[in-house]
């Protein structure tokens, strides 16, 4: 159910603003008909979440096509023009490097990069935010970027690293396939972080775009010999704080031009 300003929201008018089979239309139907309760203070907040979720889906597809390789942290790599590789295998934005250009380089020069699946998810979020906010505002909002697993230093993205039980699994959610009986010799197969895509597909870095059965099959192929539990999809998801990001976005859109200073008027003389 969608709640707008405290009241149930009828999606019939809004849904026609989006193309047939679009991510936004699918989201509106899933949220309106699902078991979850999705409350918004304004229509702008709802529209922003639809927009950002769409761009998360687009960014996941783009990262899949980028050529980014899978690597455990001690074998990770990044383009040194934009990133300093830290001792733990993370990537920290170089001083003087433009944040937007550094994120975009991962997508256009992916073969210069290698990392594991959690970091790839965070890269997806940054690209989605870049596409939503635009280069100039993105650079202002995210002047320092650190890419390393779920060690998210950016307050606007911190929630994606803490999954919560969800009544509905929605497009653009960050989900997780767990492999409890993983082979200890291949610990990187302990699970797969994924972005939920349309058509019952998921993007997981290292596996690619696949169905749930295909991901489970890949994980099950990397269990210990005495395994008794199948890999499975968890009912919890990571989601950014869409409302907070929406407020930042709409403050940016309403932000006035450069402030023009005018001299103060002369003081009023005291009456005699």
Asked if pLDDT for residue 270 goes beyond 80, the answer is no
Asked if pLDDT for residue 53 goes beyond 60, the answer is yes
Asked if pLDDT for residue 81 goes beyond 50, the answer is yes
Asked if pLDDT for residue 220 goes beyond 70, the answer is yes
pLDDT in the model for residue 42? 95
92-144 pLDDT, tens digit per residue, is: 999 999 999 999 999 999 999 999 999 999 999 999 999 999 999 999 999 99
Asked if pLDDT for residue 36 goes beyond 50, the answer is yes
pLDDT, the chain, mean: 92
pLDDT band at 80 (very low <50, low <70, confident <90, very high): very high
- In terms of C-beta density within 10 A (0-12 exposed, 13-18 middle, 19 or more buried), how is residue 159 classed? middle
Length of the chain: 272
pLDDT in the model for residue 254? 61
Distances from the Cα of 37 to the Cα of 8, 145, 168, angstroms: 10, 33, 9
The structure tokens listed for 137 are: 């505002």
In percent, how much of the chain has pLDDT > 90?
A: 89
Asked if pLDDT for residue 256 goes beyond 60, the answer is no
134-173 pLDDT, tens digit per residue, is: 999 999 999 999 999 998 989 999 899 889 999 999 999 9
Enter the pTM of the model.
0.91
pLDDT in the model for residue 167? 95
Work out the number of other CB atoms within 10 angstroms of the CB of residue 239. Answer: 18
Query: 3-state secondary structure string, the chain?
Result: CEEECCEECCCHHHHCCCCCCCHHHHHHHHHHHCCCCEEECCHHHHHHHHHHHHHHHHHHHHHHHCCCEECCHHHCECCCCCEEECCCCCEEECCCCCHHHHHHHHHHCHHHCEECHHHHHHHHHHHHHHHHHCHHHHHHHCCCCEECCCCCCCHHHHHHHCCEECCCCCCCCEEEEECCCECCCCHHHCEEEEEEECCCEEEECCCEEEEHHHHHHHHHCCECCCCCCCCEECCEEECCCHHHHHHHHHHHHCCCCCCCCCCCCCCCCCCC
Distances from the Cα of 125 to the Cα of 120, 130, 181, angstroms: 9, 9, 30
Asked if pLDDT for residue 253 goes beyond 80, the answer is no
pLDDT band at 251 (very low <50, low <70, confident <90, very high): confident
């Amino acid at each position: 159910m969608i709640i707008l300003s405290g009241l149930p929201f009828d999606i019939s008018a809004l849904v026609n603003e989006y193309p047939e089979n679009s991510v936004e239309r699918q989201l509106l139907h899933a949220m309106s008909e699902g078991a979850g309760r999705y409350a918004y203070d304004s229509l702008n907040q709802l529209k922003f979440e639809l927009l950002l979720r769409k761009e998360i889906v687009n960014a996941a597809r783009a990262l899949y096509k980028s050529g980014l390789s899978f690597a455990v942290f001690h074998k990770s790599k990044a383009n040194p023009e934009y990133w300093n590789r830290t001792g733990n295998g993370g990537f920290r934005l170089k001083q003087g490097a433009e944040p937007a250009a550094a994120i975009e380089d991962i997508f256009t020069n992916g073969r210069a990069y290698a990392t594991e699946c959690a970091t790839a998810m965070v890269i997806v979020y940054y690209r989605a935010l870049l596409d939503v906010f635009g280069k100039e505002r993105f650079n202002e909002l995210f002047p320092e970027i650190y890419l390393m697993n779920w060690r998210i230093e950016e307050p606007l993205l911190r929630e994606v690293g803490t999954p919560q039980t969800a009544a509905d699994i929605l497009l653009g959610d960050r989900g997780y396939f767990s492999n409890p009986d993983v082979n200890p010799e291949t610990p990187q197969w302990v699970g797969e972080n994924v972005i939920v895509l349309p058509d019952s597909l998921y993007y997981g870095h290292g596996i690619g775009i696949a169905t749930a059965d295909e991901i489970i099959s890949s994980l099950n192929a990397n269990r210990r010999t005495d395994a008794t539990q199948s890999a499975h999809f968890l009912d919890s998801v990571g989601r950014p704080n869409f409302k907070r990001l929406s407020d930042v976005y709409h403050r940016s859109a309403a932000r006035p031009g450069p402030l023009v200073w005018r001299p103060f008027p002369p003081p009023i003389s005291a009456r005699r």
